[in-house]
Amino acid sequence: MSGGAYAYEGAELELFAAAHRWKAYLESQVRPFLGSAVLEVGAGLGATTRALCRERHRRWVCLEPDPHLAREIVARRGEGGVPPWCEVVVGTVQTSPFDAFDSVIYIDVLEHIAADQEELELAARRVARGGHLVVLSPAHPWLFSPFDRAIGHHRRYTAASLRAIGPARSQLVLLRYLDSVGAAAGLLNRVLLRQQLPTVRQIALWDRVTIPVSRRIDAVTGYRFGRTLLAVWKVCHST
């Protein structure tokens, strides 16, 4: 684990770490694109790592710019948490030299980065030819709420705006909305509750009740509406 000076300003990571049904839904969507060598940008507390990383992976690097969060990932390795063989590196795609990976993933991370298009161009250079760049980010600018502002979001995306920042010499192979029912809950918070952070009880209810319903509705409606956007690009070059 190397050094760094960035400090993450959000406070929601622990809240969402227990959203196991949501993480299982995410895994079902991204599993075909991961490959055996994965670079996870903005690994946070390792909740996504725990959900997605399996022994079948030859290499998994948790890249986290906040050294405090990176130390938390290290502390949680093993004993049913983050797999002990995962690498933890403090830094960003700009500062950390890596060989090419089968995939580079941004799970609820890109919206925190001001220069998002530049970030994806740099990330694509870390992907081996034929590998994938995977982005999951919050959808719909009209859902932008005090919660988004409190945890450092610069934006929420539409399908068009996320498609538009795809890296050069790459092919968009998947673009879909997830969690249709959750979008309605987000609108309620945007209009009525205006919470900066959801409660533990609200997160548990969303994960236990909303996500199973959304999984069924999303599939039936062709993933045309939801709280979250998933985009996957196949990278056609390695430099």
What is the predicted pLDDT for the residue at 193? Answer: 45
What is the predicted pLDDT for the residue at 237? Answer: 73
Per domain, the residue ranges of the chain are 13-235
Start-to-end CA distance of the chain, whole Å, equals 26
What is the predicted pLDDT for the residue at 115? Answer: 96
Q: What does the alpha-carbon distance between residue 153 and residue 92 come to, in Å, rounded to a whole number?
A: 18
Dump pLDDT digits (tens) for 60-74.
999 999 999 999 899
Chain centroid offset of residue 238 CA: 22
Phi first, then psi, for residue 131 (nearest 5°) are -85, -170
CATH number assigned to the domain covering 13-235? 3.40.50.150
Q: Give every residue of the chain whose pLDDT is below 50, as ranges.
A: 1-4, 191-193
Assigned token pair, 64: 């986290």
What is the predicted pLDDT for the residue at 3? Answer: 46
